[in-house]
Amino acid sequence: KILPARDNEGSVRILEFGNLGFNEDIKLFHRLKLEERAKAEGREITFQMTVDDIYAVSNGEMIGRPQQKGQKK
């Protein structure tokens, strides 16, 4: 099973690689890019990023950012 998520700049990264044959350097690169986003958003790297990104695309946005308190969608 493969799960994508966008990094902080909107590029698609791999959150879960499943059985893809990428080497550890490539996996680390993707992980570091997702960590940048997680840090910028003040959250952990989780499946919720993928869910938020899918929802964002359906609303015409590129990256699914967590909603701030008092902010309406």
- The per-residue b/e assignment along 26-62, b for 16 or more CB within 10 angstroms, e otherwise, is eeeebbebbeebbeeeeeeeeeebbebbeebeeeeee
Q: For position 69, what pLDDT does the model report?
A: 53
Is the pLDDT at 66 greater than 90? The verdict is: no
User: Tell me: the pLDDT tens digits for 20-58?
Assistant: 999 999 999 999 999 999 999 999 999 999 999 999 999
SS3 33: helix
**pLDDT classification of 63: cutoffs 50, 70, 90:** confident
Mean pLDDT of 53-72: 79
Is the pLDDT at 71 greater than 70? The verdict is: no
Give me the architecture of the 3-58 domain, per CATH: Alpha-Beta Complex (3.90)
Handedness of CA 35, 38, 44, 50 (dihedral sign): negative
